[in-house]
């Protein structure tokens, strides 16, 4: 971040932005390029976790039957995920997954949201490590739930053998296996990562592009302004993507759990 | 570009390969978040929701009970009122009947009394008349005898004949009067 700011101030913006712009120097040790324990990205993850823990613990320290405004807000978030995702997708049995889904939703939403918060301006989810970890949890969760509900053999029979004529099964079973057990966690992780990665890249392109044009030729200043206006417009688009991807990640996890619990294929 | 960066002494990054340190840090942070929220916050929210549902349902139940009780009381009061009305009507009817009876009694008694008085008067009159007739009869006998003895100048010594004569005479008088 500071490096970029210096570059911008010096009027020598590196354009076009590259993948390396996502990998900022380490904070501790300061400026190291191959140390990842304490970077801006990991710091943001801790900040997100801290904000969520403090918010929920503070608002729900003394719950009341008639909620205060903050309590109402916290309950609305939980109620939204509980009723509109968990119960809608899974049915009444979904209530017991609602706490995890809400935690997941809040975490993804807040870490995504850092992408457009001034000074943060990059989402940890644009590093695939975090979406990948969440996707692995979802993967383990739905398989575990399915095996516990149906038993090992019946679960795999349910998820691998679709109700189809026997002669098509040799074709269908590998496809089912591939889509359910191989692609799911991967697609889940990549979808979130790619959206946040692309969003950040877009904002970088239009912001740095404005500086690049300005430093290339003073007559291009109006185009630079247009570029920055585009940045603002894209920030709104990015906000939409942020909410949508947090929702999609949670809904897909719920859908996988529902599929694992379903009796019929 | 990667090659250039590599030659520049910078480590290159492939964005699709996760950095294991970030997985560790992100994993620890997320699991910490999960533990805190899923253990201390959301179960209490469920409890609060449940308590709220209970409170509302309890409130509705209490209200329904109160309503039912009120309805029952209303019915009871209505029944009592109706009963009181019939009682009052009955009492009025009874009173009216009593009054009529009393009036009839009084009238009957008065009529009886007047009859009795009239009868007593008549009786008295008859008795007086009889007394007077008897007295008159004796007196008329004496006077007639006196008159006859004065006229005839002779004293009729025979009591029995005299009595028979006088009675015959009076009978003749009465039958003449009756005719």
Report the C-alpha gap between B48 and A257 in whole angstroms.
26
Report the C-alpha gap between B128 and A84 in whole angstroms.
124
Report the C-alpha gap between A23 and A6 in whole angstroms.
16
Report the C-alpha gap between A7 and A14 in whole angstroms.
8
Report the C-alpha gap between A104 and A106 in whole angstroms.
6
Tokens matching residue B40:
């201390």
Give me the tens of pLDDT residue by residue for chain A, a chain 265 residues long. 444 544 454 445 577 888 888 888 888 888 887 788 899 999 999 999 999 999 999 998 888 888 889 999 999 999 999 999 999 999 998 999 999 999 999 999 999 999 999 999 899 999 999 999 999 999 999 999 999 999 999 998 888 888 888 898 899 999 999 998 999 999 999 999 999 999 999 999 999 988 888 888 888 889 999 999 999 999 999 999 999 999 999 999 999 999 999 876 5
User: Which residues of chain B approach chain A closer than 8 Å at the C-beta?
Assistant: 1, 5, 10-23, 25-27, 29-30, 32-34, 36-38, 40-49, 51-52, 55
Is the separation of the CB atoms in A59 and A70 below 8 Å? yes
pLDDT in tens, B48-68: 999 989 999 988 999 999 999
Report the C-alpha gap between A149 and A139 in whole angstroms.
15
Task: Please tell me which of the candidates B22, B27, B49 has its beta carbon nearest to residue A127.
Answer: B22
Residue of A nearest to B1 (CA): A18
Task: State whether ipTM is beyond 0.95.
Answer: no
Three-state secondary-structure class, residue B118: helix
Minimal CA separation from B90 to chain A, in Å: 58
- Extents of the domains making up chain B: 16-178
Report the C-alpha gap between B42 and A53 in whole angstroms.
12
B44/A63 CB distance under 8 A: yes
Q: Write out the H or E segment, with its range, that includes residue B25.
A: helix B20-36
Report the C-alpha gap between A17 and A24 in whole angstroms.
13
What's this model's pTM, rounded to 2 decimal places?
A: 0.71
Is the separation of the CB atoms in B12 and A20 below 8 Å? yes
Tokens matching residue A23:
């990998």
B45/A74 CB distance under 8 A: yes
Minimal CA separation from A40 to chain B, in Å: 11
For an interface test with B, which of A26, A41, A49 has the most B Cβ atoms less than 10 Å from its Cβ? A49
């Amino acid at each position: 971040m500071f490096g970029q700011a210096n570059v911008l101030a010096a009027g020598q913006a590196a354009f076009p932005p590259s993948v390396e712009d996502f990998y900022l120097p380490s904070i501790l040790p300061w400026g190291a390029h191959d140390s990842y324990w304490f970077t801006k990205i990991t710091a943001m993850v801790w900040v997100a976790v801290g904000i969520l823990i403090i918010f929920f613990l503070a608002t729900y320290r003394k719950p009341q039957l008639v909620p205060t405004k903050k309590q109402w807000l916290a309950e609305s978030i939980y109620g939204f995920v509980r009723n509109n995702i968990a119960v809608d997708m899974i049915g009444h049995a979904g209530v017991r997954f609602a706490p995890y889904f809400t935690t997941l939703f809040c975490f993804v939403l807040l870490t995504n949201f850092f992408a457009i918060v001034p000074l943060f301006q990059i989402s940890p989810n644009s590093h695939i490590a975090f979406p990948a970890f969440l996707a692995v949890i979802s993967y383990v969760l739905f398989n575990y739930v399915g095996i516990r509900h149906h038993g090992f053999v019946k679960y795999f029979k349910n998820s691998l053998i679709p109700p189809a004529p026997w002669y098509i099964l040799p074709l269908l079973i590998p496809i089912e296996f591939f889509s359910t057990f191989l692609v799911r966690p991967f697609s889940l992780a990549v979808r979130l990562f790619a959206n946040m990665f692309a969003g950040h890249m877009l904002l970088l392109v239009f912001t740095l592009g404005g500086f690049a044009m300005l430093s290339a030729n003073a007559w291009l200043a109006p185009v630079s302004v247009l570029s920055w206006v585009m940045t603002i417009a894209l920030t709104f688009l990015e906000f939409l993507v942020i909410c949508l991807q947090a929702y999609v990640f949670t809904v897909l996890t719920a859908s996988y759990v529902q599929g694992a619990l379903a009796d019929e294929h | 570009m990667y090659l250039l960066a590599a030659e520049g002494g910078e480590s290159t990054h492939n964005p699709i390969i996760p950095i294991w340190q970030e997985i560790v840090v992100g994993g620890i942070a997320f699991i910490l978040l999960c533990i805190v929220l899923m253990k201390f916050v959301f179960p209490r929210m469920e409890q609060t929701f449940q308590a709220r549902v209970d409170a509302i349902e309890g409130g509705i139940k209490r209200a329904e009970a109160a309503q039912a009780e009120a309805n029952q009381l209303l019915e009871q009061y209505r029944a009592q009122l109706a009963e009181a009305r019939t009682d009052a009507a009955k009492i009025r009817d009874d009173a009216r009947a009593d009054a009529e009876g009393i009036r009839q009694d009084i009238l009957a008694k008065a009529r009886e009394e007047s009859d009795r008085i009239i009868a007593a008067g008549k009786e008295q009159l008859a008795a007086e008349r009889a007394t007077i007739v008897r007295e008159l009869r004796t007196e008329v006998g004496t006077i007639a005898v006196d008159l006859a003895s004065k006229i005839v100048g002779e004293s009729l010594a025979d009591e029995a004949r005299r009595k028979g004569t006088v009675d015959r005479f009076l009978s003749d008088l009465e039958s003449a009067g009756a005719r």
